[in-house]
């Protein structure tokens, strides 16, 4: 068996993964970083931008979610955004250096009448030269095929937690429903983005259980978002205890060891993470972020803050991995973005601001 084949496994067991979580912190991070370097440039981070194309009034009961209609979170509900508005946002995201544009809708699943609009969004985003990603809830096989034919690159659908803890968090759709959607996405030829949330009161065993579910899929998700719970007022998880930062970093490191070829995305909760925690997460193998001041409905660090930290850490944004034909142009754009930022920081520093 080649070295690579030995590292890409689909037969992880609970005792093995629990043992990884129990390693001394430095040992775990060293292992994760070593595996990470086998497949990725450790100084590159992929940058995606996220837009809520349909906000609030979701019929599902996910206990963490500010968009569920079961909880009073004071969120203004909105209709599906117009296609041209979405494309204007995508254009702006491209100008800031994002390589992937992710669109999220607060739906249980898309309705038939929604499909022409979401497929038009995918086509428009692709025409701008960006990778496209959508998260619209559960999909039928037909819907997955329609999205694939429109050119969708990635579909995000999270397992959220372990099968054992899942029922404490969501009752309106089952774990099996989620796995079914992931299979339909994979079968339609769309890349899979699937991960979960840490900090919902789950045990380490549950974190291991979630990562095993993802790693033991027939093909690892290309992208694995690890969200730190954003405790939104009005949701049942608003008063959840604060998560230990090192436990969060451990989850990133174990995700990387289990799925070495996947991009591990540092997702929700970054607003609560300082520069040092970001740096540790990158060291543990996180190599993708959502960039821009808003996630779907909650705050995210300012783009400037991320670029400033990238510069301090010698990290560069990763060029997108499709349509290699205009990679050079992409690279130039990213260089320009960085140069502009550097110039601004030097200017600010010289002004004493």
Return the active site residues.
58, 62, 65, 102, 133, 193, 265
3-state secondary structure of 314: coil
Alpha helices, H only, 96-235: 115-127, 141-150, 163-169, 175-187, 204-215
Near ligand SAM by CB under 6 A: residue from 232, 243, 259, 309: 232
- Other CB atoms within a 10 A radius of the CB of residue 352 amount to 5
Contact assessment for residue 338 and residue 169, using Cβ atoms and an 8 Å cutoff:
no
| 60 or 146: CB nearest ligand SF4 | 60
What CA–CA distance (Å, rounded) separates 86 from 94? 12
Does the footprint of ligand SF4 cover residue 235 (CB under 6 A)? no
Does the footprint of ligand SAM cover residue 210 (CB under 6 A)? no
Q: Please identify, among the stretches 54-62, 177-185, 268-276, 298-306, the one whose residues bind ligand SF4 according to the rule CB under 6 A.
A: 54-62
Q: Which of ligand SAM, ligand DTB, ligand SF4, none does residue 229 bind to, with CB < 5 to 8 Å depending on kind?
A: ligand SAM
Near ligand SAM by CB under 6 A: residue from 197, 217, 249, 289: 197
Contact assessment for residue 113 and residue 97, using Cβ atoms and an 8 Å cutoff:
no
Does the footprint of ligand SF4 cover residue 272 (CB under 6 A)? no
Site of tokens 């429903």: 177
3-state secondary structure of 32: helix
What CA–CA distance (Å, rounded) separates 90 from 112? 24
* Selection from 267, 233, 299 nearest residue 66 by Cα: 233
* Selection from 93, 54, 97 nearest residue 341 by Cα: 97
What CA–CA distance (Å, rounded) separates 151 from 166? 32
Near ligand DTB by CB under 6 A: residue from 31, 49, 68, 158: 158
Tokens of 114: 């929604």
Near ligand SF4 by CB under 6 A: residue from 106, 130, 252, 309: 106
Q: Which of ligand DTB, ligand SF4, ligand SAM, none does residue 182 bind to, with CB < 5 to 8 Å depending on kind?
A: none
What CA–CA distance (Å, rounded) separates 253 from 255? 5
Q: Please identify, among the stretches 84-92, 154-162, 246-254, 332-340, the one whose residues bind ligand SAM according to the rule CB under 6 A.
A: 154-162
Does the footprint of ligand SF4 cover residue 60 (CB under 6 A)? yes
Report the interface residues with ligand SAM, using CB under 6 A: 58, 64-65, 67, 104, 106-107, 135, 137, 157-158, 160, 197, 227, 229-230, 232, 268, 296
Under the rule (CB under 6 A), what is the footprint of ligand DTB?
50, 66, 104, 135, 156, 158, 195, 225, 227, 230, 267-268, 295-298
């Amino acid at each position: 068996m080649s070295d690579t084949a030995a590292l890409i496994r689909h037969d992880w067991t609970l005792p093995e993964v629990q043992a990884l979580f129990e390693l001394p912190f430095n040992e775990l991070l060293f292992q994760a970083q070593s595996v990470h370097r086998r497949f990725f440039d450790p100084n590159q981070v992929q940058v995606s931008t996220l837009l809520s194309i349909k906000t609030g009034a979701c019929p599902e009961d996910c206990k963490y979610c500010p968009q569920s209609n079961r909880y009073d979170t004071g969120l203004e509900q909105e209709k599906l955004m117009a296609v041209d508005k979405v494309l204007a946002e995508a254009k702006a995201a491209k100008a800031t250096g994002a390589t992937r544009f992710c669109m999220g809708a607060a739906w249980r699943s898309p309705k038939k009448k929604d499909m022409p609009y979401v497929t038009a969004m995918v086509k428009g985003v692709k025409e701008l030269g960006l990778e496209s990603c959508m998260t619209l809830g559960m999909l039928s096989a037909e819907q997955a095929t329609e999205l694939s034919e429109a050119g969708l690159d990635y579909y995000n659908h999270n397992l959220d937690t372990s099968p054992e803890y899942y029922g404490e968090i969501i009752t309106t759709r089952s774990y099996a429903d989620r796995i079914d959607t992931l299979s339909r996405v994979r079968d339609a030829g769309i890349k899979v983005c699937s991960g979960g949330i840490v900090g919902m009161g789950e045990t380490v065993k549950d974190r291991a259980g979630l990562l095993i579910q993802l790693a033991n899929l027939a093909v690892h998700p290309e992208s694995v978002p690890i969200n730190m719970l954003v405790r939104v007022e009005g949701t049942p998880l608003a008063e959840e205890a604060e998560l230990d930062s090192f436990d969060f970093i451990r989850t990133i490191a174990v995700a990387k060891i289990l799925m070495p070829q996947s991009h591990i995305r540092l997702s929700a909760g970054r607003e609560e993470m300082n520069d040092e925690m970001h740096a540790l997460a990158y060291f543990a193998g996180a190599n993708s972020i959502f960039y821009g001041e808003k996630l779907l409905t909650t705050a995210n660090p300012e783009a400037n803050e991320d670029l400033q930290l990238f510069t301090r850490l010698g990290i560069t944004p990763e060029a997108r991995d499709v349509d290699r034909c205009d990679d050079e142009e992409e690279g130039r754009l990213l260089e320009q973005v960085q140069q502009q930022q550097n110039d601004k920081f030097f200017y600010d520093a010289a002004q004493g601001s």
